[in-house]
Chain A
Amino acid sequence: MIKIKLNNREIITEAGKTILEVAQENGIKIPTLCHDPELQPYGSCWVCAVEVKGARGFVTACGTRVSDGMEVQTDTKEVHAARKMALELLVSDHYADCEAPCSVACPDHVDIQTYVAHIANGDYHEAVRVIKEKLPMPLSIGRVCPAFCESECRRKIVDEPIAIRQLKRHAADFDLDDYWTYVPEKMPETGNKVAIVGAGPSGLTCGYYLSNEGHDVTVFEASPKAGGWLRYGIPEYRLPKAILDKEIELMCANGMEIKYNVKIGEEITMQQLCTEYDAVYLALGAQNAVPMRVTGADLNGVLLGVDFLKDFVLGKEINVGKKVAIIGGGNTAVDCARTSRRLGADVTIVYRRTRKEMPAEEYEVDAADEEGIKFYMLTNPVEFLGEDGQLKKVKFEKMELGEPDSSGRRRPVPTGEYFEEEFDTVIAAISQAPDVDFFAKEENYVDGRQMPLTRWQTAEVDENTMYLGYGNVFAGGDFRRGPATAIEAIADGRIAFEQIDRYLMGLEIEADKPKFDSKKEKKLADVSPEEYEQYEKKPRAKMPELEAEVRATNFEEVETGFVDEDARAEAERCLECGCQVNSSCVLRQYCTDYEVDVDLFAGSKNKHPIDHSHPFILRDANKCVNCGRCIRTCSEIQGAGVLGYIFRGFSSLVAPEFGESLTYTTCESCGKCVAVCPVGALTERQVNYKLHPHPGEKFIQSCGNCGVGCTIEVNTQVDRVAFIQTPEEEGFNGRNLCFKGRFGWQVFEDDEKLTEPLLRKDGKYEPISWIDAMEVLRENLEKAENRSIYISADTTNEEMLLMQEVAMNIEAEIGSMSLIPDFTDDIVMYHRYRKSFTEMDDAEAIVIVGEVSHTLRTLARTQQRKGKKLILINNSDADFNNFADAHIKGEDFDKALDGLCQNNCCCDDCHCGGSDKIELDLPNRTLFFYDRTELGEDVIHKIWTVATATCSFGKGSGVIPTSKWMNLNGLIRLGFQPMPAIQADFVILYGESPDAEQQKALEGSGFTVSVHTHHVYDADLILPQASYLETEGSVFADDHRLNYFYNPKDSSLFDEMVELFADLLIIPEAHGEKSYWLGRTRYVQETEPQIPIEAKELHEWLANLTDLSTCPMQVNTGKLSRIMKLKKETEQER
């Protein structure tokens, strides 16, 4: 033990530990990017810099071992500054977006990338759920939003932006029209009362979220209906009132109440609101039209845009005559023009600048143009001329463009050139302002003070919190911003909700500290197009519209909506700019913690195209921080060594050999590089559907790809598996998974995975319902005189028990066609031989014969790095063999093992006649591993013989057979016996995939049923088997752990199966629930004899075994070949 000083505190610790370890043990957090607990200290990122007294400069906490008397400072100003600079330098060359630029551009920061991904995957309800986390009005906003998001969409660099607004509408329409529509769960009532003034988008949004949180919300609306500008400003042909009504109805589902025709300052005062309610949100809008200061503005026939649109909605009689001039270039002007056009008028839009400068959305202007509306550009009205108080003519002046003004647009300058034209009506749509006169009255004061207003008559509140600064009043929307868009009003409403909620909960009103956000560039225009050349051009889906001639004469909705296919294809175009790991990225977290200034060291950046070439691993070198964890893990632990550094200096880069694609290397797709990457440079890739960064649900359970039974964390998004990782609380496998575990599961998610029963009719398979399947089964069961059931080891204990009971009740023979017995079955069954994988910790040497799970291989390697011996016996040329302390190759395993036998046998008349003596000094604590589905029984026998001579079979000593089956031990422990394939009148193959010979033997059977995840056998009836991702159940792993599956996909396949047999009345009704079978497994396990075999007994038993005849090599072809096929296909596709 040594004594050190850590931040002036004396600490007793062990020598040899690193500063990082000691700090962690003492609750001091030191950031690090390059350090990995499985690897040797590396010290490249310098984010862990600390001060050690007497050392030159800083030292790395990860790479410096403590020594007696060492004085360490982890928290000084200098250390903080150095770490901050390290992070600033790293992000100065981080050509990547944390958040998708569309989402950043959206005033309400809706998680666009996620909902677009959901749409691409066809999950519309889920898309709506994500939208409504921030934006509760997708039906309306999906129709009217100017789509700030699309202007920053990176797809624009390739071809055209994603049609984000239209996609939102598509999802919302689907959600509305479906038999079920999304409404968020309502939280328990809080008893707080909130008043909201104004039922426009801002007020409704605030009220919606507050009511979801359980607050009692009352909205006061001056008009007879809700919706604000969406109702009274936006014309029917853009947003049908019926849709708006439905949207508002949905928003009120959690109890928000709207009181109509209540005008603040008239029917109710501010003081009343402030005292009767716990909080008040003012979202009055900006509804007063700003009149034109032109002579003759008071004439009849001169209207104001806002009033015109509102009167029209209210059904007031409006006669605009034959010729209408609209003054202004904004959205209101265009809405007035298109409305007038629909009233049959000849319409001209008069605007003082050019069409390019018009603030209205381009597509709106185009639509007006298509509908036959005329444009007078660079024209300004100077006088309205009338007769008898009625407008007759308008005098215009021609304008020209001068220098840019403060808004950046070129200022219109009068030319002195005039002309006159006759008009029946002029509608001025210049600007709007809130109606605020009532605030002057004392009864509307807040806390005895008059509401502070800006010179534009808007509310003066904190833009980050919407809070007035005193009292219980918040304000937002157009009332705060002046006339703006609905999405901006919604953004204010949501911020107001968050802060009111905090206020009501007694928390301080303050905006959250912003999260660090890396951006490729601040503006889309600055993003270099080169890295986007790899993407194929695909034009943006065009929103179908009514024909221009048709729509100009009525108020039908112009946009008719996408068809499903187009919507999904459009969403598929999304480039997924936001980082996949933006919520778990360590770099982002540190940058946020250290309040990094990303611009401080701005300079040139290394830019690379994103590498999509590998079927499962996405490599984005732009995000790499050169920590080398992937390189070191791959070469030092996994063995493949396919990653390395290339180039030097600022350009140095982590890449596969020669900078080529990973697919050209010997990469085994174990995905460990993804697991160790601290940033998003290496992430999982999905071949079946689009991933997104939104956190989903996590299920920690066992992997079902083989008998090793690794602990996995299944991350699902909408009952789909998104990716599989290892959980933070690691299982025995640590962060290790093999290819099958990490990526191979995708075969259970692809199109070929069966999800419904298939019946063969005239040689073809047709999907049928479970009820129909039951009828077919009943019919054929009755006919059959003899029955047999085959079950494989790729089934859960519950499935095995279920089939055992079924067999008993229908008097069927039951056994396994795929189980090839070997002598070790007896030890498992009768001798209670239990060896755990964790015994590797106690072993001194590990011998692996043949190929075993790569995870086990990696774990053995990890043990080797702790000083143990690793011996490999195989004929492969895998890179991993280079690690072996001894790699024994022979023409076959036999010879190698014979060699071992010879060396280890204590008997004089050694039965194994190996020629070359192999010098292997194996310690008593040696663990042998092999895969029984790979080796013949004779080889297995030799392994056990060697082990008998070597091992004591105590802890860390002995043999652990593994298998490619997920539940071989279950099959053996539940007493199933091998049963050869023979024809019968009625045959069920459960999880079995018969080979050609077995299929031949089954030919001529009466009725065959295949229960399997995939279509592997042409049975008469095929029932879909639940994969390990779709079932709740248990299996016995190779080392006899009882492992569980928790049905991460929330599938009902196993329930259907159980019900099927219950409905057939071949199991009791009470057994028709899956919970019964889960209980039964527990019972079986609990009642199994628990006395383990003693080493001496085992030795005796093994010694008494006589030589066994040679068995043919067995390979579990079914699952493995499908997974390999998938890998090949995806590679070919690329």
Chain B
Amino acid sequence: MSQLMIKVGMASCGVAAGAGDVWKAIEEYMANNAPDVTLEKTGCIGMCSYEPLVEMKSAGKDMITYGNITAEEVITAIEAHLNNDAEKLESVAKRIIPRVETLDKQSRIVLRNTGIIDPTSIDEYLANDGYKALEKALKNMTREQVIDEIKASGLRGRGGAGFPTGLKWQFAYQAKDDKKYIVCNADEGDPGAFMDRSVLEGDPHSVIEGMIIGAYAIGADEGYIYCRAEYPMAIRHLLIALEAAEKLGYLGKNIMGTGYNFELHIKEGAGAFVCGEETALMASIEGKRGMPRIRPPFPAQSGLWGHPTNINNVETFANIAWIINNGAAKYASLGTEKSKGTKVFALAGKIKHAGLVEVPMGTPLRDVIYEVGGGMLTEKPFKAVQLGGPSGGCVPKELLDTIVDYDSITKTGAIMGSGGMVVMDESTCMVDIAKFFLNFTQNESCGKCTFCRVGTKRMLEILQRITEGKGEMEDIDKLYELSENIRKTSLCGLGQTAPNPVLTTLRYFKHEYIAHIQDKKCPAGACQALIKFEIDPDKCVGCTLCARRCPVNAITGTVKQPHVIDQDACIGCGACEAACKFGAVIKS
């Protein structure tokens, strides 16, 4: 073992925050000084708000994690560790993050290797029990036994709907056809969600292994990973992993000498959110426009090119090998009665430790946010948490004790979804947030179903009117009517769930809608059209600064005289408020 082990988080989140520079600096340092240091890259360590993250472990000592570290500081830290230089150690101490805080409450199955191993090295995966489950399944288990094991584990589809995985496999297994397919849905597109990307970047083999086991179970000999093209690193790591797995005989003809053949392809998606819907995804793989179709027939009966097809998402597949290795009972011991195992969440928004976490099912939302996530980012109090992305909804503070479990979350009007969790404080306008998510679904609708294509547009227009203070009380009724029918008359989940952000905000924050409509006020002070800036003539000293900062020249006045804002010209940007040193600009 080297004197010092260094690991750098080199997933997209790390690279975006500057991990590349840190990496380069360390490499350079090593080239020049040739210290006794082992340098490794790894995937997402999970604490994205602290990126770039570097872990250092001196021989015989505990590992120390540095966050928000710069290229310069990392060298100082290395030198500090190598030379046991207390002074230098002190100077970088502020970058040390108490890792325990975020990890204690977690239990990592899906993320068992992510942020720990080098994802481009199959050896490291193998060193962590990689492909042992596959071997076990292929050599010691029948297809039925594999399916039974997964059924016994209670694993439910992590794509959002929570359909029991084992049952799904059983349907595909029972379908009679010479040709079957297995597909991994890696078209993660929810705003604020990055679970699948992190797993693919940080531990691609776990997904591949899960897929091969699934393929074996249902009797498929060909598979596709449908990954969005916006995830270049995930695709790169997958390709490396595929090649390595094939080389070592885990993929391709006669896998591990068992006579079982399986071929796996990667299909890059073109960036349509709706392609995350299984029938649209299959159309896209077939080279058609990604549009959902009527079900039945379900993919298990007639999927890709008319053959039985099983589709699971990344996180689901990443669980499989663990379950086979550790047994269904161990998996089922985690979680609640109806939701077993763990769930990965991507924490984002106004939360201290934004990042990737994995908690056992049954953990209360409050614990996820306040303990795992470290609580609110600023002083502003918690208002709501958005779960499930554009198909989900907002859970208010009164319901913070809701536990993470498919059925409990559904009861709130939100959905578990794929695991996006956006935390909002009092400065967030709930009408505006509904508008944001609806705008997303509206733009991403494939355009097929009337209600989804036109209905969501009309809802969006109503929300737009409301946030501009032009709404009427009947608009709320219209929102309900449209929501109800859009929910009931869309072919796919995108349309069926599109009204959810509006319905949940109406359920818990109707007063905010009414305030916009009746009082022409945005309680959160977020809707620009409803903000009014005025100058208090008693406080204004006529310094002219606000007038100079105003981008639309809406402020007039002579020097040393109180200024006035022309309300018709004002666009509510707040530049004047920020500029005024005397607190004379009043926002209302």
Residue among B445, B451, B456, B478 making CB contact with A46, cutoff 8 Å: B451
Decide if B485 touches A85 in the complex (CB within 8 Å).
yes
- B249-257, B486-494, B554-562: which lies at the interface: B486-494
**A89-B454 contact, Cβ under 8 Å, with A44-B449, A57-B489:** yes
Contacts of A93 on B, CB cut-off 8 Å? 454, 457
Chain A 646-665 per-residue mask, 1 if CB under 8 angstroms from chain B, else 0: 01111111000000000000
What's the nearest-Cβ distance from chain B to residue A657, in Å?
A: 12
| A-contact 0/1 string along B444-471, CB 8 Å cutoff | 1111111101111110010000000000
Contacts of A90 in B (CB 8 A): 450, 454
Complex CA gap A45/B448 in Å reads 8
Contact (Cβ within 8 A) B489 A82: yes
Provide the A975-1013 mask, 1 if CB < 8 A to any CB of B, else 0. Answer: 000000000000000000000000000000000000000
Q: Which one of A46, A600, A644, A645 has the greatest number of beta carbons of chain B within 10 Å?
A: A46
Name B487's closest neighbour in chain A (CB-CB): A57
Q: Confirm or deny: A372 has a beta carbon within 8 angstroms of a beta carbon on chain B.
A: no
Within 8 A of A (CB), among B130-144: none
CB-based contact A604/B450 at 8 Å: no
User: Which residues in chain B, 392-423, are within 8 Å of chain A measured between CB atoms?
Assistant: none
In this complex, the member of A42, A43, A63 whose beta carbon has the largest number of chain B beta carbons within 10 angstroms is A43
Indicate if the CB atoms of B450 and A44 lie closer than 8 Å: yes
A46-B450 in contact (CB<8A) = yes
Closest to A64 in B: B294
Bound Cα distance A1064, B270 (Å)? 77
Instruction: Enumerate chain A residues within 8 angstroms of B453, measured Cβ to Cβ.
Output: 626, 649-650, 652
Q: Would A652 and B294 be within 8 Å (CB), given that A82-B485, A92-B458 are in contact? A: no
- Between B456, B457, B478, B487, the greatest number of chain A beta carbons within 10 A of the residue's beta carbon is seen for B457
Most buried by A among B450, B455, B491: B450
Instruction: Name the CB-closest residue of B to A93.
Output: B454
Interface membership of B145, Cβ < 8 A: no
B282-321 vs A, Cβ < 8 Å mask (1 yes, 0 no): 0000000101011010000000000000000000000000
Q: Is the CB of A652 within 8 A of B446?
A: yes
Residues from chain A with Cβ under 8 Å of B296 in the complex: 65
Chain B residues with a Cβ closer than 8 Å to the other chain, count: 34
Interface residues of A in 621-651 (CB under 8 A from B): 625-626, 628, 644-645, 647-651
The answer to whether A89 and B294 have CB atoms under 8 Å apart is no
Chain B residues with Cβ below 8 Å from A936 are none
Q: What is the bound-complex CA distance between A1117 and B481, given in angstroms?
A: 63
For residue B3, CB closer than 8 A to chain A, the reply is no
Say whether A89 contacts B450, CB under 8 Å. Answer: yes
Decide yes or no whether B443 CB sits under 8 A from chain A. yes
Distance from B54 Cβ to chain A, minimum over Cβ atoms (Å): 41
CA distance A871 to B387 in the complex (A): 55
User: Residue among A89, A603, A647 with the most chain B CB within 10 A?
Assistant: A89
Min CB–CB distance A883 → chain B (angstroms) = 16
The answer for the CA separation of A625 and B456 in the assembled complex, in Å, is: 16
Does chain B have a CB within 8 A of A49?
Answer: yes
Chain A hits for B482, CB < 8 A = 85, 601
Q: Is B386 an interface residue (CB 8 A)?
A: no
Q: How far is the CB of A962 from chain B (nearest CB, A)?
A: 34
Tell me if B213 is interfacial: C-beta within 8 Å of chain A: no
B272 nearest in chain A by CB position? A648
On whether the beta carbons of A85 and B481 are closer than 8 Å, the reply is yes
**A933 at the B interface (CB under 8 A):** no
Contact partners of A49 in chain B: CB under 8 A = 488-489
Determine whether B442 belongs to the interface, using a CB cutoff of 8 Å to chain A: yes
Q: Is B444 a contact of A649 with CB atoms below 8 Å?
A: yes
Q: A260 at interface (Cβ–Cβ under 8 A)?
A: no
A90-B454, A92-B454 given as contacts; is B445 within 8 A of A648 (CB)?
yes
Query: Is B496 in the interface zone, CB < 8 Å from A?
Result: yes
Say whether B455 contacts A89, CB under 8 Å: yes
Q: Could you say which residues of chain A place their CB within 8 Å of the CB of B490?
A: 57
Q: Would you call B450 and A86 a contact (CB within 8 A)?
A: yes
A92 to B458, CA, bound (A): 9
Q: Would you give the shortest CB distance from B476 to chain A, in whole angstroms? A: 15
Least distance between B94 CB and chain A CB atoms (Å): 47
The answer to whether A650 and B457 touch (CB under 8 A), given A626-B447, A628-B448, is yes
Q: Given the known A-B contacts A92-B458, A652-B447, are A43 and B294 also in contact in the complex, defined by CB atoms under 8 Å?
A: yes
- Quick check: A645 and B489 within 8 Å, CB to CB? no
CA–CA, A628 and B447, complex, Å: 11
How would residues 484 to 516 of chain B score, 1 for a CB under 8 Å from any chain A CB and 0 otherwise? 010111110000100000000000000000000
Inside 8 A of A1031's CB, which chain B residues have their CB? none
Interface residues of A in 23-50 (CB under 8 A from B): 41-47, 49
Name A62's closest neighbour in chain B (CB-CB).
Answer: B294
Contacts A85-B485, A89-B451, A89-B455; is A648 near B444 (CB within 8 Å)?
A: yes
In the bound complex, residues from chain B placing their C-beta under 8 Å from that of A44 are 448-450, 491
- Residues on B with beta carbons closer than 8 Å to the beta carbon of A202: none
Q: Give which listed residue, B458, B487, B496, contacts A89 with CB less than 8 A.
A: B458
Contacts A649-B443, A649-B453: A603 and B458 contacting too (C-beta < 8 A)? yes
| With A82-B488, A89-B451 as contacts: A649 and B289 at CB distance below 8 Å | no
Closest to B441 in A: A649
B446 & A648 in contact (Cβ 8 Å cutoff): yes
- Contact call B450/A45, Cβ cutoff below 8 A: yes
Q: Please tell me which one of the listed residues A56, A60, A645, A651 contacts residue B294 in the complex, with CB atoms under 8 A apart.
A: A60
Residues from chain B with Cβ under 8 Å of A277 in the complex: none
State whether B458 touches A41 (Cβ < 8 A).
Answer: no
| Cα of A1107 to Cα of B75 in the assembled complex, Å | 93
Q: List the A side residues contacting B446 at CB < 8 Å.
A: 645, 648, 652
Interface check A58, CB cutoff 8 A: yes
Which residues from B are CB-within-8-Å of A89? 450-451, 454-455, 458
* A58/B454 in contact, CB under 8 A: no
User: Contacts A46-B451, A86-B450 hold; do A603 and B489 have CB atoms under 8 A apart?
Assistant: no
Minimum CB–CB distance for B157 against chain A, Å = 17
Is A647's CB under 8 angstroms from B489's CB? no
Name which of A603, A648, A652 has the most chain B CB atoms within 10 A of its CB: A648
Interface string of A84-118 (1 = CB under 8 A from B): 01100110110000000000000000000000000
Cβ–Cβ < 8 Å partners of B451 in chain A: 46, 85-86, 89
- A residues 709-741 in Cβ contact with B at 8 Å: none
Instruction: Look across to chain B and name the residue whose beta carbon is closest to the beta carbon of A65.
Output: B296
Contacts of B489 in A (CB 8 A): 46, 49, 57-58, 82, 86
A603-B457 contact in complex given A57-B496, A82-B485, C-beta closer than 8 Å: yes
User: Quick one: CB contact mask for A582-606 with B, threshold 8 Å, 1 for yes?
Assistant: 0000000000000000001101100
Inter-subunit contact A43/B458 (CB<8 Å):
no
CB proximity to A under 8 Å, residues B426-449: 442-449
Q: Give the contacts of B78-137 with A (CB-CB under 8 A).
A: none
What's the Cα separation between A57 and B453 when bound, in Å? Answer: 17
User: What does the 1/0 interface line of A171-213 toward B look like (CB < 8 Å)?
Assistant: 0000000000000000000000000000000000000000000
Q: Which of A42, A47, A644 contacts B289 (CB 8 A)?
A: A644
Given the contacts A645-B289, A645-B291, A601 and B458 also touching, CB distance less than 8 Å: yes
Q: Is the CB of B481 within 8 A of A626?
A: no
User: Chain A residues in contact with chain B, CB under 8 A?
Assistant: 41-47, 49, 56-58, 60, 63-65, 81-82, 85-86, 89-90, 92-93, 600-601, 603-604, 625-626, 628, 644-645, 647-653
> What are 28 inter-chain pairs, A to B, with CB distance below 8 A?
A42-B294, A43-B449, A44-B450, A47-B450, A49-B489, A60-B294, A82-B488, A85-B451, A86-B451, A89-B450, A89-B458, A90-B454, A601-B454, A601-B478, A603-B457, A604-B461, A626-B450, A645-B446, A647-B447, A649-B442, A649-B443, A649-B444, A649-B447, A650-B453, A650-B454, A651-B447, A652-B445, A652-B446
**10 tightest Cβ-Cβ pairs between the two chains A and B:** A652-B447, A57-B488, A63-B294, A89-B454, A650-B457, A603-B461, A44-B448, A46-B489, A43-B294, A649-B443
Known: A86-B489, A603-B458, A649-B444. 12 other contacts (CB 8 A): A41-B294, A47-B450, A56-B496, A58-B489, A60-B294, A82-B485, A82-B489, A600-B478, A625-B450, A644-B289, A648-B446, A650-B445
